[in-house]
Structure 1
Amino acid sequence: MNLNQITTTLAVLIVFGILLLALGLSRRFSGRSLRTRVAVGILFTGGIAVGFLSIYAINSTVRITDLLSQRLETSVQHLAEEQLINSVNTEAGKADRSFEKIEGDVLELAAHWSSLYAEQEKLGQGAYWDAATSLVQLDGGHYGNSGEEVSSVYVPAKVTINNDVTSDLNTSAYLDFSAPSALKSNASLLAIYAIDTRGVTRYYPNVNLASLLPPDFDPTERPYFRITSPLFNPAKTARWAIPYVDAAGGGLVVTVAAPVYDGDTFRGIVAADMQLATITSQIEQIKIGQTGYAFMIDDAGRIISMPPAGFELFGIDPENINTEEYFKVTVLGEGSPELIEITNRMVAGGSGLIELPANGVETYLAFAPIGANGYSVGIVVPVAELQTAIITARNETTFQIQSAARLAGIILAILLLSSFLISLRISGRITAPIVRLTETANQIVAGDLTARATETSGDEIGTLANAFNTMTSRLRETLAGLEQRVAERTAELTRANQQIEQRALQLETIARVAHTIGSTQDLDALLPQIASAISRQFDFYHVGIFLLDPRREYAVLSAANSEGGKKMLANNHRLKIGETGIVGYVTGSGKPRVALDTGADAVFFDNPFLPETRSEIALPLLAGREVIGALDVQSKEPNAFGEQDVNILTILADQVSIAIQNAKQYEQTQKALAESESLSRQLVRSGWQEFAKGRKLLGIRHSGARATMLYAKKNGKGDAGANDDESISKPRSSSISIPIKLRGETIGTVDVRAPGNRRLDQDEMDIVTAIIDRAALALENARFLEESQKRVAKEQTIGEISAKISARSTIEELIKTAALELSRSLPGTEVAIQFKKDQETE
């Protein structure tokens, strides 16, 4: 039985005893006087007071004891958690120092190689080690060196040995004085090697590397080289590769590489292969509690060290993982949601202590990062194994409280009986103020916040009455304040809704005006529609649209909706740009202007055509940055245009400007199209007139398998030879005449008569029409071809004559040649060349 159960049982027993005593007294004194009954009530009240005082004392004792127990438990728990956090930080720090030591050695070797490049001109001559004499070409075409030297050298077959390669190898040979000592000082290192950008490698220790690698092996394609190159490592820091299982039996190995730069030029990397056996052994030896264990993962969640209990925690079966894939398994996304969150924090470099359920057992998981390479160490231990002292202390406390509770029950019963005996002599007048105070409290509970307690005594009852009154006043003030705040919030929401509705209505109006603007492309019809639409949608007194004249001197009223505006249109109303009125100011400055019915702006409303104007706004109509006119809006209301109205009308002005530009461009396009079509028809007409005139050909008549050319006679009538047929000139009811049209111009007609003088049906008419349309294009193409051939022949003849004339050296030969060639070009003509003599009058 815990503390709460003990306290509850004791309280029930006390209250039950008091009720039995009260029941017996009420039956005995039910017919007695009020004072007697009050006395009994006092006795009952005293008994209750004693009982509850006893309960309070017991509860206080239990609460204090429970508080001390909780503090003890909290202290022990914090101590255990702190110990666990310190343990994981200590183990992570040990691993971090190991990684940092090797990373520092690699960075020092990379810096040393970079410094050697500064003296390459001297070191590259081969005074210490000469590649020219030390390298030996193997059967595969690649190069290596003797196994007796300090380091192994490997040159891929694709690399040509030249002075640059030799100089670089001679320079890197001086790493022999530092790399072996670094290798010797770190027992976890398997190898240190330097690789340049060609793939040329110097390897420590000397394992006769060239004999172990294939001729086409390219070290620059290895992951540790790629992640250290400038493309993936612009910060030029040391990089750790993904761990792997060494094929030569080195166990789990990880490579750390540092870039080597000669100034800003990337020259290669220095890398070291580190065995993780020492660190994983250190992690495996961590024991917390009876069953606690530790594990390690890399920055991608891959398992570096994990005991069987760890695999069970993450729900991974190690039996299904082969040796090669063992260290590629990741814990990310495995296990419970709490465990997934923890592993995500671990790979992100986080640290902390989390309590989570693991296989039905509450478990601590403490984790800390390894700063050198982003690995993370975790320690898992059941909570119960760290709280043995808490459980022992809790059991002892429970036993002591149970003993104390039994003793307190006996003492309480004695005190309760004594209090009832003493209370029999107390007066009952205290009951009246209490009753009145209770009535006041009930009124307040019922909602009457104006009720007040009238007791003014200086005892506890008076204090309680004052407290009731104070509470009632504050409650009344609070409710009044809440009502006021609710009213204010309601008013604010109403105003906001009105603004939103007004904004939506304005946007809808803009859309309607825009639809009206976009429905017409004729400028003369468009402008009045715009003015009427804006006035109708926004209920403005007058809307006018001004456009600048071609000389940009005046803004001319081009459209208006009001009666006064239409009279102004009839009078060719115009305003001087930059001088007259608001419109003049706007068209001159390109900025909007608002005029109100007060102060200096009142002078703008002196317009006999618009006598009711009290507010006016004018906005520029812009085409890009050029002012093309103004939108003038007038209202009968003073101060009618606010900031929102200006914004809305500005949008409308922009739309009007675009509509005007579109209408102008449409008119210009239509005009240019009409001119182009007219010119095309004129060219077609003149071309065919010249063609027919030159050939004197009227047409062709085809009857059956016979075709006859129709030529114009000298008297202007057609001649078809002996095959003339009067049907050509005498129309019959069965004949049809279809015009031959080209680009809208009629260049001839086709007369068709069906056999047997029958009428052609609609399908035959469609076929004839389609053939005539295609024939018109073919005739036009043939005419163009013939004219082109004539021009080519003409230009060729002129060119030949010019060439022959240019070949003559004297004037006489030139003139003779010119006359001869002209007579040849124009057979049957006589050619005479005559020079005009200058006549001078003395």
Structure 2
Amino acid sequence: PQVFIPGQIPSLRVLAGGAFGVLVRTVLSTLANIAAIAIIPYLMWRAPLTRQQRTLGWWLLITQVIALLLFTIGRQFLQPSFITLVLGSTYATVYAAAAYQQRLLGGGKRYIRLQPRLTSLLLTLILPVLVFLTVTANGLVHTLTRTNADARLHDTASLVANEVQQWLDFNAEALRNMAQQPEIVSMDPALQEPILRSMDASHNYMYLVSTTDVLGHNVARSDGAAPKDYGDRLWVQKALRGESPVLQVLIGRTSHQPALVMSTPIRNRQNNIVGVAMFASTLSDLSNTVLQARVGESGFAYLVDEHDLLIAHPKMSGALLTELENYSGASPISALRTANAPNIYTTYTDTDGITWRAYATALPNGWAVVMQQPVEEYLGVARLFTNLSIALVVLITGILLLLIWVTVRQVVAPVEHLTATAQRIAAGDLELRVPDADQDEIGALGRVLNQVTARLRDAIQELETRIAERTLALERRTAQLQAAAEVGNAIGTIRDLDTLLPQVTQLISQHFGFYHVGIFLLDDRGEYAVLQAANSEGGQRMLARKHRLRVGTQGIVGFSAFTRRPRIALNVGEDAVHFNNPDLPDTQSEMALPLIVGDELIGVLDVQSTQPNAFEEEDVETLTVLARQVATAIQNARLVEETRRLLEAQEEAAGLQSRRAWRRQVETLIHPVVRRTPAGLEHPQETASSEVPSRVEPTQDPEDPHLLYVPLRIGGVFIGHLQARKPADGPAWSAREIAFMRTLSDELGPALESARLYQETQISAQQQRIAVDVATRLRQNLDLESILRTAVHQVQQSLGLPEVAIQLGGLSDDEAS
């Protein structure tokens, strides 16, 4: 057991082996991981690192997070060996990645030759794996060794505990059977003594069997000695309280060895306690059972009672004892009692500095069996394996270093020769060749280098040819884009559909060199694509006969309209969809592009060429863009035409309404004609329409050039005219004077319209006031005749009518009902 002497500081191993040491180790490992997790992001943020170094930093951070999770949470669910394996694998992987980056990809690689760099790289990659495997194997060996040792401790301690429990159960059952005998229950000494002597004789380890009454006085004894008073003994008091069996371990007075007193109450037929039966025995059988239990060379077992008094221990063998030693301070016993568990494993270090692994198990009566073994003893094989593995790693490392150096040298020498040759080729010596001798990878690399040199010579010539071809293609592409832009600018300014469509076909044919370009538009029902414009002579004939193709069934145009996708026939003779048109017999290639605005298909652009395979990918892209522009231009032209028609309809409706209003206004005027002469203001009776017809522009009278008629118009509606006459002996009307009169007419028309609208508003307001006044006066009367009289009077007075009448009646019987 551990004994701490006052005034002395325990060793670090002793302190680390306790519960506080486990807590300290856990806290330190957790703090170390947390510190690493905090430091790594700080360094990544503050230090000028490369991309590879930052990636490595992220891997290290992830590794530390995994380690923290495994140390804090994982150890509650996972085995320590598994945690060690996972962490070892993770650290080894990160280390290998770091070594690879620093050795092979690091910035310093250009200053180190290939042979030492490859040697160090291989060692850097292999050595961590080798060390990791060694550490993992040692960890597994140590784990298995501990597991086996724990299993042996468990099995041996369980066997000892079972034997002790069986011994106790057997004797307790024998004592209870004896206490139930009628002779014992009679409490007659003469009847009890034969039973007690028989019990003593049948169990050689018992040296006393006796009974007591309820006061603790001896009734009968197996040894024939004088009766004694046992009333103050614990085993008597507990038995009289009804406990059974009662066990008490003490030191035998003659043997000076642990002895056991077991007692049980004696009950009569009414189940009343009438006395106590007991026996006292030596514990030699139990001691032998405990002492014979061994694990390894130094492992032993010991037994304590429910009060942690030592019953059996190797150090008690042959010793004369005066009292039982209290073993509650022993680490296994203390841990078992503190944990309040049926069994427990523990590791502790005694005062001699020996570390023990112990297994303690508790019996139902509170006794405990402890089996322990020195850790150094059962870990000896594991430590031997560790030493051998370390020596083996060192030996293998040395051998690997030598083999790697020689192997890398054999590889590097031909590479250095190839490097020198490649440098001369890079300098411009394309006629140089590598000797074709070896058949390995280096020789293959030399042959490849020769092939590359030869191909490089050919590639230079081919590159010059391709540059010329690409230049021509680029020029052609540029010309197409310029043509598409010019066509787009041209059609963007045309708003008349009849002008736009022929212009589009002509521009596309001129800029792209296609002999036929046609534009088809869908009919109102969307069943046919109708040709609306074409540039070729055959296209004109097709227009004359109103050529159309059914959507989805006839020709490439119908197919493109149905699928809403471009359709290209590079060779019309081999295309099953192509429509063989007799008006276009020279067609060899044809392309149809749908004209789509938004989600609406409005038509198809048809392009045909006299050359087979005339359309390339660039042509399709350019014409697709151009088709979108054409579709937008057609849609814009349609919208412009539709807007113009709507405006004309609105103007016509507004003019008709205005003409009707002025016709009513002229009919209500007393003097529709006003004339100013030297004699003054006149109001002739003729109307404006009887003088001259309506005119759009100011005109002079053909018979009298001094007479000028200027039309009065409001929003395009003719309402009259302004007539002006110059003196007969004066000059005719000049252009400036006519323009002035036109301006005056333009100002007079809106003024007259405003006056008419104002007058209508006044009349409407007056009529509204009269209606409100009449209605107010009518609501003031409730008599029918009074309402009728008031109504005719108010209407006559308000409107100035000579006569107003209201007549009721004329209803038929059916209408009245």
Q: TM-score, normalised by structure 1?
A: 0.39
Higher relative contact order, structure no. (Cα contacts within 8 Å, ≥ 6 residues apart): 1
Higher Cα radius of gyration: 2
TM-score w.r.t. the length of structure 2 is 0.40
